[in-house]
Amino acid sequence: IFEAGGHKMILANSSYKSGSDEQNNQLSEMIDIVKKYDPNGVITGEGAMTKDLIEVADVDFNNVNITSIIVVFVIIAIVFRSASVPVLLVAAIESAIMINLGIPYFTGTTLPFITSIVIGTIQLGATVDYAILMTTRFREERNAGHTAKEAAQIAVEQCSQSILTSGLTFFAATFSVSLVSRMELIGVLCKLISRGALISMAVILLVLPALLVITEPILRKTTFHWLKKPEITEKKA
């Protein structure tokens, strides 16, 4: 384009979308070519800046995810005074998040690079309430004298209305925005959040109760006063 003061500017147009793997690979090849001829040469523009932002933000995003998980883990550990309950609940919540973020991979959908951090934190914060509600009710029913299976069944019956109401409201609010939004980023994020609400409900209502029944012996041994009454003997058929 021009040459002045010992510097030259070369304009290169790419047919790839900014932030895509194809353009990032193309930029890496271009950087190698530029550095071959001029070690001080640089590449700038939307694609290059987006690539740099992704690389820099990736470390920060991982730190944020780890920190949020640790904070939620500590809060649950303090509330239940347990070493195993936080592991169980965080595992259930993270599995719901992984399912939500894994669907685009199998459908071949390209997501904005900030998607993982936004969905991870929002879905984590929303799902932890459902998980604590279900676990607390399960524990109450165990203390009321019910077996683990009976306690899980009652907990699902009593908590399902609250969880479904909250989850479906969350789904409706975000899904409607994804339909009317003209901004691609907002539309994609709201679509993932709405889908995450449904996945979280399914995991908490269908998977978590089964996990509570299976791991209940471990929960009793690793939780301070899991059962306030003397240990309840399971009913035998």
Which two three-digit tokens encode residue 194?
Answer: 């709405």
Measured in degrees and rounded to the nearest 5, phi and psi for residue 16 equal -85, 155
- pLDDT for 155-200, tens place per residue? 999 999 999 999 999 999 999 998 888 888 888 889 999 999 999 9
Q: What is the pTM of this model?
A: 0.74
**pLDDT at residue 85 is higher than 60:** yes
DSSP letter (8 states) at residue 8 = E
Q: Which domains does the chain have, with CATH numbers?
A: 2-37 (no CATH), 61-222 (1.20.1640.10)
Q: Which one of 36-40, 95-99, 227-231 scores highest in mean pLDDT?
A: 95-99
Closest by CA to 128, choosing from 83, 72, 78, 82, is 72
Question: Which residue do the tokens 């470390």 mark?
Answer: 59
- Determine contact, residues 82/226, Cβ cutoff 8 Å: yes
